[in-house]
Copies of this chain bind each other. A is one copy, B any other.
Amino acid sequence: MKRPAQSRKEATHERIVDVASRAIRRSGYQGIGVADLMKEAGLTHGGFYAHFESRDALLAEVADRAGAESVATLERIAAGAPRGRGLEALLRAYLSKPHEKAVETGCPVAALGSEMPRQAPEVRRAATRRIKELIDLVGRQSPDWGEPGAHERALVTVATMLGALVLSRAVDDPRLSDSLREAALKSLSPARG
């Protein structure tokens, strides 16, 4: 049997990606090195290249993994809400103070968005795919999904969510952070677009 060997290596591989997906949201794409990443995974730096072709290859996996997890979390939140209130629940979670604080487990676009244009093509490709999934998820929460204008509205909703979260984390004035999140939440909530 080859399985046990493969699954052991696979498990370590997963663990590295998992640890990295948090560490990189916390410290930025360039903010943590291979050695520290491996140490956080309980390994030493040398074995890294048995798992990844390069550092960029890891970053691409991280972008994909973090994006997928973020979309899945929001999907679960929307699906768990009463009928017709999926968007409201999603927004309430995305624009919450806990999400503002939880950079390393939260939306990777908010944590890394302005670093994306500088990343390797493989990283941007993975991130773009997940961003499209997010736009789709938001769009599907509206009853008129598919009708003209609904896609545009989803784009704007995602832009506002993201912008408010990025700003609320950027500024060093907690009062302003709260105002930004709350204003965006109120403005986007389905009472009136």
Binding site for B on A (CB under 8 A): 27-28, 30-31, 103, 109-118, 121, 124-125, 127-128, 131-132, 151-153, 155-156, 158-164, 166-167, 169-173, 176, 179-180, 183-184, 186-187
| Chain B residues with CB below 8 A from A184, complex form | 155-156, 159
Sample (26) of A-B pairs whose CB atoms are under 8 Å apart: A28-B28, A28-B118, A30-B30, A109-B167, A115-B115, A117-B170, A124-B170, A124-B171, A128-B170, A128-B172, A128-B176, A131-B171, A132-B171, A132-B173, A152-B179, A156-B164, A156-B184, A159-B163, A159-B164, A159-B167, A159-B180, A159-B183, A160-B160, A163-B163, A163-B164, A163-B166
Chain B residue with the shortest CB-CB distance to A123? B172
> Whole-angstrom distance between the alpha carbons of A192 and B108 in the complex?
32
Interface of A is mostly: helix
